[in-house]
Structure 1
Amino acid sequence: MMQDSLVDGGAQAQPRRLLTLVNIALARLGTVIAVIGLMSIVGIVFYEVVGRYVFNQTPTWAESLALVLVLYVTMLGAAVAVRDAGHIGMDSVVILLPLHVQRWFEILIHILVAGFGASMAYNGWVLGMSVSTYAIPNLGLPEIVRYVPLSLSGCLIVLFSVEHTLALLRHEEVEPTWN
């Protein structure tokens, strides 16, 4: 279906296809980073427990690093869920509407989600910059690393919502991240 639209759409199809390819790559990268982060959290917490109960010497940095990684895992996971429509939805009311109205409600929802993502990106940046000179205790990293995933996730949510909105306007489906 996507190939047909590339042939029929000509020059308009190229930017749309580029957005899809970029979003697929970003969603895959976000998923891989989130999985690596989750595995790292498990390893760090295991190391912390072993250090505490076996060696009676708790590593001071482990809990702080695990908490920072949780932010990256959840924010990237949330952004990828927006692209793959894996987030919680309130379909029960929209399904009761006529088909032509359902599409407009879905477009409205994606526009609102994009606005929320833009707000996340902007406010995450502002908050991060306000604490960028402070260091995270036990890690020595700047506090801004806690706000990077908020801004990054917000930007991804905007991109993914734009892709969904454009697809709905063209009566198309968004190409899945993983085939």
Structure 2
Amino acid sequence: MDKVPDSAPAPGSTSDRVLDGLARLCLIVAGILLVFLIFSFGWLVFGRYVLNDTPTWIEQSSLLIVVYITCLGAAAGVRFNSHLSIDFLREGAPRVPRAIMHAIADGFVILFGAFMAWQGGLMVLSNAGRPIPMIGLSESWRAAPLVVCGVLLVIFTGANLIKRWFSNPRAGS
């Protein structure tokens, strides 16, 4: 379970331990939310078919929880290089083109994360006064994971990029 893929930064430095701990915290929170999601759907089924009284808050809360699970899991996947990727072309390329492709991919992820955080922040601010139906929380809670995930994508990808380039500057990968 603690096996980190070979392409992930080797643990050792304080920053690596902190970032790995942050990524693991993301996975723990996502796991706890997944367990809550499963229990809430169990309550939904029990309420609907046994009590004949459907709990209305479960639909909206589960939509909110799925966004948090997805964003936290995506950020951790970037840190541990366990996200879905098709890299047979890159890994089969010679050293220099492989390093360039890594840098381009990392650049796109950093740009995407920054854009996600920025736009998510705008959504948080613009939806602060609107409540989510059935649960009463602000709509900003739906956009908050975008900000968190975007910032984590930038941090994790930047750290992976720096680690890759400085751990073996001649190879770049």
TM-score by length of 1: 0.84
Q: Does 2:127 align with 1:113?
A: no
Which has the larger helix fraction?
1
Q: Is the 8 A contact 1:107 1:168 kept in 2?
A: no
Cα deviation for residue 51 of structure 1 reads 0.2
Gapped regions of structure 1 (runs ≥ 5): 4-16, 173-179
Instruction: Name segments (4+ residues, structure 1) moved above 3 Å.
Output: none
Q: Does 2:156 align with 1:160?
A: yes
Out of 22, 42, 48, which is 2:18 matched to? 22
Determine the structure 2 residue equivalent to 1:89: 85
Q: Does 2:60 align with 1:67?
A: no
Aligned length: 159
Q: Does 2:100 align with 1:104?
A: yes
CA distance in 2, matches of 1:126, 1:21: 32
Cα deviation for residue 131 of structure 1 reads 1.0
Cα deviation for residue 58 of structure 1 reads 0.5
Cα deviation for residue 142 of structure 1 reads 0.4
Gapped regions of structure 2 (runs ≥ 5): 1-9, 169-173
Matched residue type, 1:61: W
Cα deviation for residue 20 of structure 1 reads 1.5
Matched residue type, 1:123: Q
Flag the 1:74–1:2 CA change in 2: closer, same or farther, 3 A: closer
Q: Give the root-mean-square deviation of aligned CA atoms.
A: 1.5
Matched residue type, 2:166: R
CA distance in 1, matches of 2:117, 2:52: 42
Cα deviation for residue 92 of structure 1 reads 2.1
Local SS of the residue matching 2:92: coil
CA distance in 1, matches of 2:88, 2:130: 46
Local SS of the residue matching 2:128: coil
| Identity percentage of aligned residues | 33
Q: Does 2:123 align with 1:122?
A: no
Q: Does 2:56 align with 1:56?
A: no
